[in-house]
């Protein structure tokens, strides 16, 4: 019996005890169990939103979200925590060696003429304007 209480009190057993309490309260009517269930659902949704935002920032999934004067052109992993990154700063490309402790400048290049200056994906404002124009023409 003590082992069951210990398991239900741990982080692994907590959801199971909340479900059991909610089921018991549902049989009696609305009460504290439903409130706990709503609060846990809200916490789960908020955690998903925060986690998704962190992933978007961490892996640069939002194009153009950074500084317009500084842009990561390319990067490649050369070790478990080491990368070689090409960064564009005002028309100059910097080849950087990045580790978990420091960043070293490896080489400086002029921006090649054959590289497009516009981003591969349009900014959100341009996309929204095009979508609104398309919607207005189809109506």
* Per-residue model confidence (pLDDT) at position 138: 72
* Per-residue model confidence (pLDDT) at position 66: 59
CB atoms within 10 A of CB 83: 15
- The residues that bridge with 98 in the sheet, in sequence order, are 83, 103
Q: Which residue numbers in the chain have pLDDT < 50?
A: 1-8, 10-13
Q: Quote the radius of gyration of the chain (alpha carbons, Å).
A: 26
Which tokens belong to 38? 């709503």
Which tokens belong to 76? 């490649």
pTM for the model stands at: 0.40
67-105 per-position pLDDT tens digit: 667 888 889 999 898 999 999 888 899 999 999 999 999
> By C-alpha distance, which of 121, 126, 125, 91 is closest to 108?
91
């Amino acid at each position: 019996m003590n082992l069951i209480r210990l398991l239900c009190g741990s982080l692994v057993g907590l959801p199971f005890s909340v479900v059991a309490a909610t089921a018991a309260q549902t049989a009696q009517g609305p009460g504290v169990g439903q409130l706990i269930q709503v609060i846990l659902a809200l916490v789960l949704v908020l955690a998903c939103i925060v986690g998704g935002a962190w992933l978007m920032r961490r892996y640069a999934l939002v194009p153009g979200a950074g500084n317009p004067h500084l842009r990561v052109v390319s990067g490649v992993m050369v070790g478990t925590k080491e990368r070689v990154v090409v960064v564009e700063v005002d028309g100059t490309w910097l080849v950087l060696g990045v580790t978990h402790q420091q960043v070293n400048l490896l080489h400086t290049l002029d921006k090649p003429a054959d590289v497009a200056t516009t981003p591969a994906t349009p900014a959100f404002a341009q996309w929204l304007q095009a979508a609104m124009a398309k919607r207005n023409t189809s109506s």
